[in-house]
Chain A
């Protein structure tokens, strides 16, 4: 039916139709994502406000709902200043390098059965490769700013993001072992099969239960990767003011901001996809659909904010210790456990 509806457009554009249609689909992903980013900032301020027994923004529009629009307009009209001794090209390349991977990674994220921009076979690898590029934005910005605080922030983030990427990668190795596929859609559908799923209790057959330590490692590493509290030494306000983005103003600053929130939403959605069954329904009598993914991601995003309002900032050496001495050995052990489990007669992934 869809094909018939699109037929007149396809014949109008001729050979360019593939490009036009793909661009249209990209807009369909990016536009709601930008909306989500905008309202994530409001949700963050509101939720943290409520946790700290404050009201949060409530002046612009009903219940403060237009606050993100006001913030966006304000940033848009601000002057973009670059430091006199900055490396100009790199100074403006920094924000671009931060925001591009944050959006490009969404190409392989499956929102529902068949609802994915690029259903590539090596989707998981693509995702890991693209998200590993995000650190360049921070490093380039920190170096090009020619400022000590910015440089300190960049150095901290380079070490932190590379360390936690390993833990994230290893926890995904476990996911990949139990699914036997690098295709993200297949990873989701693989979670919908099993003894509990047959009983109508799908949520017990998702990856989070057999891979519980990896679920934890992945999510915490995700918090560290996005430089969110309590791992926000990269931009620790009380130590180095704003880290790598201290010299940025206006839209250049807001691009870092958007990238951070887009990454946060990405980590939440990916945790839902890899460990919480993506678009699958938790119980047998309710239909599967994209709304389940959105609900799971929203809950995880709330956890992001909850963590920020609860924990004090980690000290830098403690962050490194957690990554290298706790998470990575735990991951290596669990890879072994899962490997033995799969080969043993007790395997639940047949």
Chain B
């Protein structure tokens, strides 16, 4: 049986993805865990690329790997996490975790083996011609057929963003703020006056020869 190159890539990426996913929850150091999560996102992007969803593949790298995970890493690096303390309750919470995991696996199995979502019902992606643009097709569908749900989703994101800002925003009156417009508008002659003072004789003993006053 000849194995095609994309199939080899698929198994390779899947292996890396599963390994990275496992390491996310087993790595002792939280920073290492986050970096494995980055690897997992990147690899899943590559798998999407194999499925010819190039726009989504690049979008996950651009948004999740390039922006979200950077901030995530930023926060995790700042945290002072005591790993031993966090591991204390491991055995106590394990049964609960296993139940949740089992339910999730069962649900996924039901979806994947369902009547309409069977893998064998899903056609393999068609080979596309050279000029085909995935982004263009996706944009056409989003902004015509699904314009309303799409705008709704963006509105929900906006609300979430504003509420997150409002929750963390605190007005601090005690802090001095600068007004950049006022700073830029300053001219030298408003602040600085240069007086010309005639030179003095040496025996007078005056120390200052020039004076700058406001």
Contact = CB atoms under 8 A, between A and B. Distances in A.
B54 A122 contact: yes
Contacts of A181: 133
A136 B70 contact: yes
Contacts of A132: 61-62, 65-67
Chain B interface, >50% SS class: helix
Interface string A316-350: 00100100000000000000000000000000000
Interface string B8-36: 00000000000000000000010110010
Interface of A: 87, 90, 120-122, 125-126, 128-130, 132-133, 135-136, 139-140, 143, 151, 154-155, 158-159, 161-162, 165, 181-183, 318, 321
B160 interface: no
Given A132-B65, A162-B70, A125 B38 contact: no
A140 B74 contact: no
A139 B74 contact: yes
B167 to A, nearest CB: 19
Nearest to B29: A87
B73 to A, nearest CB: 6
Contact of B74 (A90, A158, A318): A158
Contacts, number: 74
A87 B77 CA distance: 13
A159 B67 contact: no
B58 A143 contact: no
Interface of B: 29, 31-32, 35, 38, 54-55, 58-59, 61-62, 65-67, 70-71, 73-74, 77-78, 131-135, 180
A182 B135 contact: yes
8 contacts: A122-B55, A130-B61, A132-B62, A132-B67, A165-B66, A165-B67, A181-B133, A182-B135
Given A140-B35, A182-B135, A125 B70 contact: no
Contact of A321 (B58, B66, B74, B180): B180
A154 B31 CA distance: 14
Given A90-B35, A129-B58, A155-B74, A122 B66 contact: no
Contacts of A159: 74
Contacts of B29: 87
Given A122-B58, A125-B59, A129-B61, A135 B133 contact: no
